[in-house]
Structure 1
Amino acid sequence: MAYKERTKPRLLCIYEALAKRMKLSPDDHYYLLNMDGGFGGELGLDVHTDALDSSCLVLNDLQLRHNRCSFQIDTLVICPDKLLLCEAKNYKGVHTWGQLTFRKPSGATLENPSIQLRRTQARLTVLLTDLKIEMPIEAYVVYTNPEFTLLGAQENADYLLPSQIPDYFQKFQVSGEIGPEQQRLADTLIRMHNPRYFAEELPTIEYRKLRKDLFCLACGSAVRHDGIKSVYCPVCQKRERTTKTIVHNIEEFRLLFPGEKVTTPRMAEWCGMENKDRVYRVLCNSYRAVGKGHGRHYV
Structure 2
Amino acid sequence: MIKKHRAQPIIIHKLQSLLKRALLNDAKQGEIQRVLRKHISGYRGEQSLDYFYRYLPQNNLIFLHGLRISHEDYYFQIDTLIITPHFLLIIESKNIAGHLYFKSAYDPLIRTLNDHQEAFDNPVEQVKRQSYHLMAILNNFKVLHVPIESLVIMTNPKAITEFSPAYKEARLKVIKSSGLVAKFEELSNKHRKEIILPKDSKKISKNLMKIHTPDNPDVCSKFQIHPNHLLTGVFCPSCETELLQRRRRTWYCPSCKNNYNKAHEAALVDYALLISSTISNKSCKQFLNLTSTNQSYQLLKSLNLLFTGNRKSRIYHLDNLVKKTTSKEDASP
Q: CA deviation at 1:125?
A: 2.3
- Please tell me whether the aligned partners of residues 233 and 243 of structure 2 are also in contact (alpha carbons under 8 angstroms): no
Where in structure 2 are the equivalents of 1:268-283 lying within 5 Å? 268-271=285-288, 280-283=297-300
Q: CA deviation at 1:3?
A: 0.4
- Residues 1:66 and 1:297: Cα distance change in structure 2 (over 3 Å): closer
- Please tell me whether the aligned partners of residues 96 and 152 of structure 1 are also in contact (alpha carbons under 8 angstroms): yes
1:298 aligns with 2:316: yes
* Matching residue of 2:129: 119
1:179 aligns with 2:198: yes
Which letter does structure 1 place at the counterpart of 2:310? G
- Please tell me whether the aligned partners of residues 73 and 120 of structure 1 are also in contact (alpha carbons under 8 angstroms): yes
Correspondence for 2:119 among 109, 126, 138: 109
Correspondence for 2:42 among 38, 41, 64: 38
Distance 1:80 1:109 in 2: 37
- Please tell me whether the aligned partners of residues 81 and 88 of structure 2 are also in contact (alpha carbons under 8 angstroms): yes
* Matching residue of 2:173: 158
Gaps of 5+ in 2: 318-333
* Matching residue of 2:99: 94
1:57 aligns with 2:65: no
Q: CA deviation at 1:159?
A: 1.7
- Please tell me whether the aligned partners of residues 12 and 40 of structure 2 are also in contact (alpha carbons under 8 angstroms): yes
* Matching residue of 1:6: 6
* Matching residue of 2:321: none
Correspondence for 2:90 among 66, 70, 85: 85
Where in structure 2 are the equivalents of 1:254-265 lying within 5 Å? 254-258=272-276, 261-263=279-281
Q: CA deviation at 1:145?
A: 1.9
- Residues 1:206 and 1:80: Cα distance change in structure 2 (over 3 Å): same
- Please tell me whether the aligned partners of residues 232 and 289 of structure 2 are also in contact (alpha carbons under 8 angstroms): yes
- Residues 1:241 and 1:115: Cα distance change in structure 2 (over 3 Å): farther
Distance 1:282 1:51 in 2: 48
- Please tell me whether the aligned partners of residues 61 and 74 of structure 1 are also in contact (alpha carbons under 8 angstroms): yes
* Matching residue of 2:223: 203
Aligned sequence identity (%): 20
Which letter does structure 2 place at the counterpart of 1:109? A
- TM-score (norm: length of structure 2): 0.70
State how many pairs are aligned: 291
Which letter does structure 1 place at the counterpart of 2:116? S
* Matching residue of 1:132: 143
Q: CA deviation at 1:116?
A: 0.5
Distance 2:7 2:215 in 1: 15
Correspondence for 1:214 among 222, 231, 234: 234
- Please tell me whether the aligned partners of residues 70 and 198 of structure 1 are also in contact (alpha carbons under 8 angstroms): no
